[in-house]
Structure 1
């Protein structure tokens, strides 16, 4: 009997070994867009990799049409070669407090230089054309509460034609309601779609969607391959944009914040012209929306809501030109805020810095790397040169 039990045990061990080897081989050969994950176990791939959520004013139909005709078509299908995963930063937890380690300034500079070099190589030596079907869904969020009947008719006609409006019947459109609009829009997307990532932009933002999507795919693939390295620690959740930690609290004008009492500056946040969130972060703010304070600026609100979470990977990227006014146009920019419909068409036509003459000014904003090792008042002194 003992001999028989030993044989059974040996057979079980051999079977488990080969089965484990088989599963490992499958995982190592994965060549899809990895899905959103809540832990070390791999879950089924979602239907949508990226949701493009555009907060749009009801009357800005010209801006919406310009987006539909230009950058929302990029990357469908994706024809770029995979962005090299070795150039993708993957944050690790420190040994003391269990906090994610953000990129040093030197690492940010190296990453930008590597991207520029990669772009130049693509132009000089175009790779063979390949097509990858990465599913992207775009939605224009519009509040319809108390909307005039003539404008409502126009919106309904637009929806019938394009079927890409996320209508919010319980939201009255105003700047003071912008944070509520963001929350309601994300909640609607969460309820209706399964996705991995969401990029929030304004309707005057241009996104080089193919390059952004390509790099996001490489980041997600690398995260999948590195999942086991995090052990019992939660996987990093992406918050990707252009961060500011030294902005003074606004005391007048439409940005006035009468209830922000957490300090003399806003808590570090990604500027609102465009930022990317992983699904888990979207779920966090929606699930806790009844407890979260609403501030006037939606981007300030998002940064404040995510501040306590230790597994948030804040990826500061100079390629996001997302402030209240445009910086000097650079060919490496991925997200460009404050662009008119004509600027979008010029960019889409291949003239990468065509808007330059329209956004020049004496008060040009200087772009910087974010120094996470310094206090917030000195975070942004390392200029990109």
Structure 2
């Protein structure tokens, strides 16, 4: 409400003084009238006292009205509450994006805390998180590992070469999951223009219906690079299967599933394990190079190497680590190279890095000699091509010469 100033008070005092003076004059007039002979007032005349009281009341009412609507000037540095509230209500697009990012971070933090609390509760009850058969109240069979084979729309021939060699099909694929606890799926996102008229989507739907071995992601294929696709794969796999390990492999790598199973089973009792062929290559600061790293300055002076991380051809992590990456995917930094990004997500955690050289054997004759010596490889590829060169044509040859014996394809591994 506006304040009553000294000017207003002086006006009221003046009005009261005028009223008192008027009443004094009226009293004097009455006395003089009483001394005169008594004459009856005309019937239509208003008494003088009433007129004086009415004038005083009107004056006071006017003062109150003026005070009520008087525009009190505000200091120039203090905007009105209405204007400030209105400006706060109008958010720019950049501010809206910041709010969304903050909400994502809050949600990720809550998810991470929830996962940690759930794991702590299981340990207090004497149950290891990796041994639990329940996930968010839905009972699911415990699997040893889920293997995601990263592929693209253009690599149909690569997928077919894998189906003909090391990846079981049909009933054998289902028995592999049921009897051995192993799930293998090709992983691919969506096209940039999905819909019934998309030729790419129709072809993928037909292939998926024919083989039933494809995991589709709610992710535009090729957008934002492979690191984001890996994160989406882990989130989708965690919500679909309950496994001890989650494995990533490229579609130009030959894999011996049984040997891979034996390797992972040895570490099944450990909660946080990162398994692969560990390396540490140089950080490329030359922007004309294929492997140019825009964030090269973060790794110190020129000529420094990356931190130790697994090669991108095949690596595996335990469920706890997959849950951590899935819950924090919005705030985990993505470098140019997928394997560097993945290693950076784990570098600050209490993780056991397992350097398993049998997961990065060379193509024949290397893998062939090792198999003949009784040390078959879990994965084989050509370092010059970062995979099997011309995999659509050569995968059969590599499989014939480097595959484990059929009767030992899925051995009963001894857990540590």
* TM-score of the superposed pair, with normalisation by structure 1: 0.58
1:146-183 CA-to-partner distances (Å, cap 9, x unmatched) read 15822221111111112222222332325x51111111
Q: Is the 8 A contact 1:205 1:273 kept in 2?
A: yes
Q: Is the 8 A contact 2:149 2:250 kept in 1?
A: yes
Task: Identify which of 238, 245, 259 aligns with 2:295.
Answer: 259
Partner residue, 1:241: 276
Highest Rg: 1 or 2? 2
1:184-333 residue pairs with structure 2 within 5 A? Answer: 184-220=232-268, 223=269, 235-249=270-284, 251-252=286-287, 253-263=289-299, 264-310=304-350, 312-321=351-360, 329-330=366-367, 331=370, 332-333=376-377
Matches of 2:212 and 2:190, distance apart in 1: 16
Give 5+ residue unaligned stretches, structure 2.
Answer: 1-118, 134-140, 371-375, 382-386, 404-416
Give 5+ residue unaligned stretches, structure 1.
Answer: 1-35, 78-131, 224-234, 354-385
Matches of 2:208 and 2:285, distance apart in 1: 36
2:395 is the alignment partner of 1:344: yes
Matches of 2:298 and 2:320, distance apart in 1: 25
The runs of 4+ residues in structure 1 deviating greater than 6 Å are: 325-328
Partner residue, 2:76: none
Partner residue, 2:229: 181
Matches of 1:250 and 1:271, distance apart in 2: 20
* Greater relative contact order (Cα < 8 A, sep 6+): 1
2:162 is the alignment partner of 1:67: yes
Q: Is the 8 A contact 2:165 2:395 kept in 1?
A: yes
Tell me how large the CA RMSD over aligned residues is. 3.1
Partner residue, 1:232: none
Aligned residues: 248
1:49–1:321 Cα change, 3 Å: same
Q: Is the 8 A contact 2:271 2:319 kept in 1?
A: no
Q: Is the 8 A contact 2:254 2:399 kept in 1?
A: no
Q: Is the 8 A contact 1:199 1:276 kept in 2?
A: yes
Secondary structure at 1:155 match in 2:
helix
Q: Is the 8 A contact 2:189 2:218 kept in 1?
A: yes
* TM-score of the superposed pair, with normalisation by structure 2: 0.54
Task: Identify which of 146, 152, 170 aligns with 1:57.
Answer: 152
1:147–1:139 Cα change, 3 Å: farther
Q: Which has the higher helix share?
A: 2
Q: Is the 8 A contact 1:178 1:296 kept in 2?
A: no
1:247–1:147 Cα change, 3 Å: farther
Partner residue, 2:182: 136
Deviates more, 1:57-66 or 1:255-264: 255-264
1:254–1:152 Cα change, 3 Å: farther
1:167–1:236 Cα change, 3 Å: closer
Partner residue, 1:116: none
2:335 is the alignment partner of 1:335: no
